[in-house]
């Protein structure tokens, strides 16, 4: 009897792996890809992308799994740009300002004091201007997976000096992203800009390598820059985008239905992120004031006039070319 029970038990155990293997195969992802960002953990873009990854895995029936690496876990912005091009990562959320180092027209919406308000931004970026920039990015070999996201209207911060007029920037050591147009803008205003990747910014401010920086309020809060900066000048000098990029080889290897799903779900994530940023912007001034930051308004036309007098708009009209500049002015009005 004991022998027959042992035989029965061995027979049952022998059958189990077949069931287990079959179940594992049905659950295992057919495709596993990587998505990276350089944005701080607290930024809405990371929350929305993480949610989207879950929706994609569920909607694909488990065929497509995406591993998520936010907050520069796989390297700085410039490192990640190399990785999205060589296939080290399959998807990358990146600021348009940084992307412009490999796709120059991605900086077209970074022209100083071009945009007036959110309505102007989204009408332009969801219309002809955004389509034009998207097409130019894709000429660089990368795919654009979604509508542009909101990297914020940027303000200037400082640890000690209040910036109220263009002359206050003379000799000012300010951190800017790794982006030629940002460097050009602040050089035109008399400042001394230094390009530093975001993951190194807090330390640069803490050690006074630079006097200040410029970012949107969402980024200032998420990066805890209020701990090392005390003043915010509401210059609203540049609006910057987020672009969600795909590696062309990785995406083209997917079945058509999964490619379509990615575009739809990533579009949804970006629209939701825009709303998140808008809601945060409505409350962050008060929150940052409570954390010790002071705010001051500036004469924006005076800054724009100073840029024009320094030849900033003429310079960038020449660099972007007549057609690109025409697309921008069609969206925002005459510049310079």
Q: What letters, b where the CB count within 10 A reaches 16 and e where it falls short, cover 122-146? A: bebbeeebbebbbebbeeeebbbbb
Residue 65's DSSP bridge partners are 32
As a whole number of angstroms, the distance between CA 249 and CA 76 comes to 23
Nearest to residue 112, comparing CAs of 128, 97, 93, 122?
Answer: 97
Beta bridge partners of 157: 213, 232
Q: Which pLDDT tens digits describe the chain residue by residue (336 residues)?
A: 444 444 343 333 333 333 332 333 346 899 999 999 999 999 999 999 999 999 999 999 999 999 999 999 999 999 999 999 999 999 999 999 999 999 999 999 999 999 989 999 999 999 999 999 999 999 999 999 999 999 999 999 999 999 999 999 999 999 999 999 999 999 999 999 999 999 999 999 999 999 999 999 999 999 999 999 999 999 999 999 999 999 999 999 999 999 999 999 999 999 999 999 999 999 999 999 999 999 999 999 999 999 999 999 999 999 999 999 999 999 999 998
- Distance, CA of 9 to CA of 304 (rounded, Å): 83
CA quadruple 184, 188, 193, 197: dihedral, nearest 10: -30
Q: How much is the pLDDT for 335?
A: 95
Contacts of 232 (CB under 8 A, 6+ apart): 155, 156, 157, 217, 220, 288, 293, 294, 295, 296
**Measured distance CA(18)–CA(8) in Å, rounded:** 16
> Given this model, what pLDDT does residue 27 score?
64
Predicted local distance difference test score (pLDDT) of residue 21 = 29
Hey, is 126 helix, strand or coil?
A: coil
**Domain 25-323, CATH:** 3.40.190.170
pLDDT at 221: 97
Q: Record the pTM.
A: 0.89
Q: Whose CA is closest to 71, among 222, 176, 206?
A: 222
């Amino acid at each position: 009897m004991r022998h027959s029970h042992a035989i029965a038990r061995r027979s049952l155990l022998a059958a189990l792996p077949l069931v287990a293997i079959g179940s594992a195969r049905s659950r295992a992802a057919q495709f596993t890809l990587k998505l990276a960002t350089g944005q701080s953990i607290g930024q809405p873009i990371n929350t929305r992308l993480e949610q989207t990854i879950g929706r994609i895995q569920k909607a694909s029936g488990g065929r497509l799994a995406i591993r998520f690496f936010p907050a520069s876990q796989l390297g700085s912005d410039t490192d990640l740009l190399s990785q999205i091009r060589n296939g080290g990562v399959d998807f990358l959320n990146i600021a348009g300002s940084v992307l412009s180092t490999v796709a120059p027209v991605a900086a077209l919406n970074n022209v100083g004091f071009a945009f007036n308000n959110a309505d102007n931004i989204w009408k332009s970026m969801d219309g002809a201007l955004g389509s034009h920039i998207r097409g130019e990015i894709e000429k660089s070999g990368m795919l654009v997976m979604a509508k542009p996201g909101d990297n914020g209207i940027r303000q200037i911060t400082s640890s000690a000096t209040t910036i109220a007029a263009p002359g206050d920037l003379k000799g000012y050591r300010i951190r800017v992203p790794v982006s030629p147009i940002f460097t050009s803008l602040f050089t035109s205003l008399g400042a001394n800009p230094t390009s530093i990747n975001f993951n190194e910014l807090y330390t640069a401010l803490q050690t006074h390598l630079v006097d200040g920086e410029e970012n949107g309020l969402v980024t200032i809060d998420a990066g805890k820059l209020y701990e090392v900066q005390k003043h915010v000048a509401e210059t609203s000098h540049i609006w910057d985008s987020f672009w969600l990029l795909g590696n062309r080889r990785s995406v083209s290897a997917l079945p058509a239905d999964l490619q379509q799903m990615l575009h739809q779900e990533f579009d949804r994530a970006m629209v939701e992120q825009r709303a998140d940023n808008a809601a945060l912007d409505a409350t962050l001034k008060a929150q940052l004031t409570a954390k010790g930051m002071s705010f001051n308004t500036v004469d924006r036309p005076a800054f724009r006039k100073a840029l024009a007098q320094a030849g900033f708009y003429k310079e960038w009209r020449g660099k972007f070319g007549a057609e690109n500049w025409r697309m921008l002015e069609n969206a925002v009005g005459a510049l310079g």
